[in-house]
Copies of this chain bind each other. A is one copy, B any other.
């Protein structure tokens, strides 16, 4: 079940469909060292079993939700994602895609990190995250600056975020994607997808603008996440994830929300994949659990397996 070593780099380099990722957040910073080791050991075992092309490690910031509503779960700082990925998960030899909130760190911290990547010499993957909404005056770098500085480090493979919900409102997310590609972005990862139509709309405008400008498509990795309860649903909505009303009704009124969410994610993925194949856009998958409940983590493993099978069809 394990991919060939470095399959991920090849898929990115050649703009291929079929990238398969699994995503995790680092443990809370307040965790005892022993507990962090336990979590890392469990995740290592789970990931060795799943054998994705790569592991996504998120950089969780205390950002305001899109809606301006109070956060449904309290924010707790996590272990530094870079340290977690390369130290605690050192035994896991999968490529790691470590998110980096560039707006949250001063320029010298960012430059020191780039130097350390250059010195390490092996290929590293990251996804740059810009300032959250309502925090335009963030202390750190702009996305633009981060991409510019990163170009000097050839062994760093940089990806970007693509958000269909933002496209629905501003209708310029495809242009942002092209601009990121021009600055060195090699692949995109979406936020959690439950809305097939807005995702297809973003892909449609992306495909048209690639065609018009003669640029090659970068792989677009769709993120999926099970939803096991109304509380998780509310949290996802707070995060800015859009649910068509009928689909939200399905989740709210299902006797088994978790199983229903997996089935719905699969349907959404098939719909978007069918469309992307027509448009010759290379899609990939990333599966995560936004919740730390065991049932939802187990469901994310099941969802990963189902989507991987669909990706290979």
Contact = CB atoms under 8 A, between A and B. Distances in A.
A201 B246 contact: yes
Contacts of A171: 245
Interface residues of A, number: 19
A168 B249 CA distance: 14
Interface string A198-218: 101101110010000000000
Given A208-B253, A253-B208, A203 B245 contact: no
When all copies of this chain in the complex are counted, the total is 2
A19 B205 CA distance: 37
A179 interface: no
Interface in A29-55: none
Contact of A245 (B196, B205, B253, B275): B205
A36 B266 CA distance: 53
Interface in A148-183: 168, 171
Contact of A244 (B200, B245, B249): B200
Interface centre among A171, A208, A249 (most CB of B within 10 A): A249
Contacts of A230: none
A250 interface: yes
A197 interface: yes
A217 to B, nearest CB: 16
A166 B205 CA distance: 26
A249 B208 contact: yes
Contacts of A204: 245-246, 249-250
B246 A203 contact: yes
A164 to B, nearest CB: 10
Contacts of A249: 201, 204-205, 208
Given A196-B197, A201-B246, A204-B245, 18 more contacts: A168-B245, A195-B197, A197-B197, A197-B244, A197-B246, A198-B244, A200-B244, A201-B244, A201-B245, A201-B249, A203-B246, A204-B246, A204-B250, A205-B245, A205-B249, A208-B249, A208-B253, A246-B275
